[in-house]
Amino acid sequence: IGGENSDLGDPIYAVADGRVSLARDGGPGWGNVVIVLHAIEENGTRRYVQSYYGHCQEILVHPGDDIRRGQKIATVGTAGGQYLAHLHFEVREFITPFIGPGYRENTAGWLNPSEFIAKHRGAPEDDVGRTKPTSPPQSTP
């Protein structure tokens, strides 16, 4: 809110349930990065997207961790002093084990985060079969 580095150390929360696929230094321009793989169901088909959280100061999750929407996963940083503190956030519809060099002319596979989130807000709590409903206990006569 105050500009400059006033956001340094602020919490970063996961945008949706998923599994951490990468949590490490992403190299020049990125600093610390967390990538989360999300499974969603659209039109009866499972689809995967990734959310990217770049320029983190502190990473609070590890690859393989299952995380929940709203879970604190990192804090806002400066990519090792390269930028004023801010979160670099992306949503991509292609799955890749690498980060890539950042901005490029061909933006195929990048999704508009605001549009994607708005379209999928309010998804069922269990929209991809991660949890199984439990049966109520049977009473005995």
**What is the reported pLDDT for 133?**
47
Angle at 46 between CA 69 and CA 54, to 5 degrees: 40
Q: Are 90 and 24 in contact (CB under 8 A)?
A: no
**What is the reported pLDDT for 134?**
46
**What is the reported pLDDT for 136?**
47
Query: Among residues 52, 48, 128, which one has the least CA distance to residue 93?
Result: 48
In angstroms, the CA 15 to CA 51 distance is 8
In angstroms, the CA 44 to CA 51 distance is 22
Where do we find the tokens 């801010």? 86
In angstroms, the CA 18 to CA 41 distance is 13
Q: Are 102 and 83 in contact (CB under 8 A)?
A: no
**What is the reported pLDDT for 77?**
97
Q: What count of other Cβ atoms lies within 10 Å of the Cβ of residue 68? A: 10
Query: Among residues 36, 34, 49, which one has the least CA distance to residue 115?
Result: 49
In angstroms, the CA 14 to CA 87 distance is 12
Residues of the chain with pLDDT under 50: 128, 132-137, 139-141
Q: Are 91 and 113 in contact (CB under 8 A)?
A: yes
**What is the reported pLDDT for 28?**
81
